[in-house]
Amino acid sequence: MVSVINARDLAWFVTRQIVGSLGYDDCVIYFLGDQGKCLNQVAAIGVKNSGNNEIRNPLTIQIGVGVTGQVALTKKTMLVPDLRLHRNYVRDIEQGLSELCVPIMFGDRLYGVLDSESKLVGGFDQEDREIFETVSRLIASKLALIEQTELNNEYATELEQKVAVRTRELKIANEKLEWLVSVDSLTGIFNRRRLDETLEIEVERSSRYGESLSIILFDIDHFKTVNDTWGHQVGDEVIAGVARIAKELTRKSDVVGRWGGEEFLIIAPQTKLAGAEAFAEKLRGALEDVRFPSGIGITASFGIARLQYNEPVTLLLNRADQALYRAKRLGRNRIETGAEFGYSCKEE
């Protein structure tokens, strides 16, 4: 019985042992129905067994009806020496002449009944009763253990599901938090913090694999005049519009973000200087042609730098920044490139 893990298998195991090992002619186990109003035959060895784990015409007996129903109602063993004298006997496939029926109980909990009929009058005695009551207690203990195990498994499954749901919620919340701390609230593109992290990663990757990397730093020309003339709300709309255009024109592999104020940075992996210049010119022209609220037109100045061999991030940014300010000194709305001092990561 120790190795049995479910109630149905337990019922069949016990009925086989009672008939096969203990030598009784018949054994049937009933389990209490879901509503607790009836008994259902779940296992039988003897005249009702038509094959392995099969019952011919399984009975359902109401509580209080017949010997088995009376035992379930009173929760007391009944030994009927002569069923012909029992007015409430429920006949099954064959007429029995005597019957022994024992409740299967664990504490006050009724699980069902253990029943056996004999073709002989007086087919059971007190010793048989003690045997069946002992077996019944073993069945009840095992059923209680199975029930507790199932409840524990259900609880564990429910807990796992709750943990899984909570884990997904936390993942979504963390992703949202990561997005919030990485994205500029005004423009919806990456902020300075995320740009710094990304640039460090891309510089390391380019240096390791010998790939080209270029950055484009650009700034809205005369932006202070926009704020002073039209107000900061219009100025915010201009910044957001510039960010949208830059985002639309960049490749999926590029990273665009707000470097600060009206200044933006584009990180372009696997891009040589000529490719970065061509893109910057495309973006410069698009910004020059667009009209913002109240008919405002703007221009932008660009500084470009390509990563050099063993060049630190700070120096790369400094060269792009110097190129940007050179573009402003030379009249704005133009593109300048940072002076190169050595070899790029990938020779051109």
Cα–Cα distance for residue pair 188/244, rounded to 1 Å = 8
Catalytic residue selected from 117, 262, 263, 277: 262
Cα–Cα distance for residue pair 158/152, rounded to 1 Å = 10
Cα separations in angstroms, 261 against 223, 241, 286, 320, 326? 10, 14, 20, 17, 19
Instruction: Annotate 92-119 with b (16+ C-beta within 10 A) or e (fewer).
Output: beeebbbbbbbbbbbeeebbbbbbbbbe
C-beta separation of 253 from 269 below 8 A: yes
Cα–Cα distance for residue pair 62/88, rounded to 1 Å = 12
Beta bridge partners of 65: none
Among all chains, which residue has been given the structure tokens 């940072």?
A: 338
Cα separations in angstroms, 137 against 45, 75, 196, 206? 20, 13, 72, 75
First to last CA, the chain: 79
Catalytic status, residue 262: yes
Cα–Cα distance for residue pair 330/336, rounded to 1 Å = 9
- What number of CA atoms fall less than 13 Å from residue 70's CA on the CB side? 14
Closest listed residue to residue 296, CA positions, set 209, 215, 237, 212: 237
- Active-site positions read 262
